[in-house]
């Protein structure tokens, strides 16, 4: 009887081991299925804000955002962009440019990716639609696209200020079942104005010119009428002297 109990215990242990192996195998298969699903339908990274360019008041410069693809297949999308210009700026053109890059190195020149965008009446917002493909990332590198669009800064924009209240909102209506997708997302648009130029202070001309700093003796001011009268008196006296001299010469003759 005792031996029979041991045999039954061994059987139960064997069943438990088999059950554990089956459960482990099932979990491993499920894990592979999950990994396969993620790899087959991967998404690009959410957009990030481009660095703020310095744009002077009254001038034009670029703002934008960047999206990255870290997968080995190209990512595609039917994108819609909702853009809002930062404070003290407007959108002078209804276009958005894009440039491809791999691991930070630009692969192609900037080209127009969105044309005929719709702008608001005040040119403060813009909506764009278009099909985009991000290049595949390979050899453990990443790829991406840098989007830019120009803004016109108001002449009255404060100097030495960074404006970060613009918006880049991207949605994707294309859902891939076998390839990578471009992920939607929201980020900012920003720029900064240069610091105000220092206003030069005019130097004191008296302090700069040592000759001018020397005091000049005061010259008495003569009343022109008095001066004229004095001149007449002097002239008359001179004429009288001359006349007396002439009389003397004649008398001597």
Four-CA torsion 52, 58, 60, 64, nearest 10 degrees: 30
Residues 159 and 187 in one domain: yes
Tell me the pLDDT band of 147, cut-offs 50, 70 and 90. Answer: very high
Is 63 found in the same domain as 28?
Answer: no
Evaluate whether residue 117 is within a structural domain: yes
Structural domain count, the chain: 2
Do 33 and 139 reside in the same domain of the chain? no
Quote the domain boundaries for residue 31. Answer: 1-40
For the domain that residue 66 is a member of, what is the CATH number?
A: 2.60.40.10
Confidence (pLDDT) at 250: 46
For residues 65 and 30, state if they share a domain.
no
Average pLDDT, the chain: 75
pLDDT single digits (tens) 210-219? 555 555 555 5
Assigned domain for 70 exists: yes
Q: Once rounded to an integer, what is the mean pLDDT over residues 149-157?
A: 97
Same domain, 176 and 68: yes
Q: DSSP string covering 51-89, please?
A: PPEE--TT-EEEEEEEEEE-SSS-EEEEEEEEEEPPTTE
Q: How confident is the model at residue 71 (pLDDT cuts 50, 70, 90)?
A: confident
The answer on 100 and 24 residing in a single domain is no
Please indicate, yes or no, whether residues 34 and 67 belong to a single structural domain of this protein. Answer: no
Same domain, 99 and 10: no
64, two tokens: 């934008």
Assess whether 22 and 57 both reside in one domain: no
In the chain, which residue ranges form alpha helices assigned H by DSSP? Answer: 2-40, 205-208, 210-213, 224-252
Structural domain contains residue 21: yes
The answer to whether position 36 is within a domain reads yes
Q: Say yes or no: 58 and 30 in one domain.
A: no
Q: Are residues 167 and 57 in the same domain?
A: yes
């Amino acid at each position: 009887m005792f031996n029979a109990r041991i045999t039954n215990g061994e059987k139960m242990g064997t069943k438990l081991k088999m059950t554990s192996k089956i459960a482990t195998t099932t979990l491993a298969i499920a894990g592979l299925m999950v990994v396969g699903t993620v790899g087959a339908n991967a998404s690009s990274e959410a957009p990030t804000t481009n660095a703020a360019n310095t744009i002077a008041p009254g001038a034009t410069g670029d703002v934008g955002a960047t999206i990255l693809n870290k997968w080995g297949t190209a990512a595609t999308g039917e994108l819609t962009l909702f853009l809002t210009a930062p404070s003290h700026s407007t959108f002078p053109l209804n276009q958005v440019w894009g440039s491809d890059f791999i691991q930070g190195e630009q692969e192609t020149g900037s080209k127009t990716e969105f044309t005929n965008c719709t702008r608001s009446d005040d040119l403060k917002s813009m909506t764009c639609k278009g099909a985009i493909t991000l290049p595949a990332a390979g050899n453990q590198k990443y790829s991406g696209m840098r989007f830019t669009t120009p803004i016109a800064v108001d002449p009255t924009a404060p100097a030495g200020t960074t404006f970060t209240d613009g918006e880049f909102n991207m949605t994707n209506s294309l859902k891939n079942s076998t390839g990578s997708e471009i992920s939607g997302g929201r980020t900012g648009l920003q720029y900064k104005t240069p610091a105000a130029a220092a206003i030069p202070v005019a130097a004191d001309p008296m302090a700069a010119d040592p000759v001018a700093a020397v005091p000049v003796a005061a010259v008495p001011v003569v009343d022109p009428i008095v001066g004229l009268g004095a001149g007449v008196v002097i002239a008359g006296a001179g004429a009288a002297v001359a006349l007396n001299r002439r009389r003397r010469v004649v008398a001597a003759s």
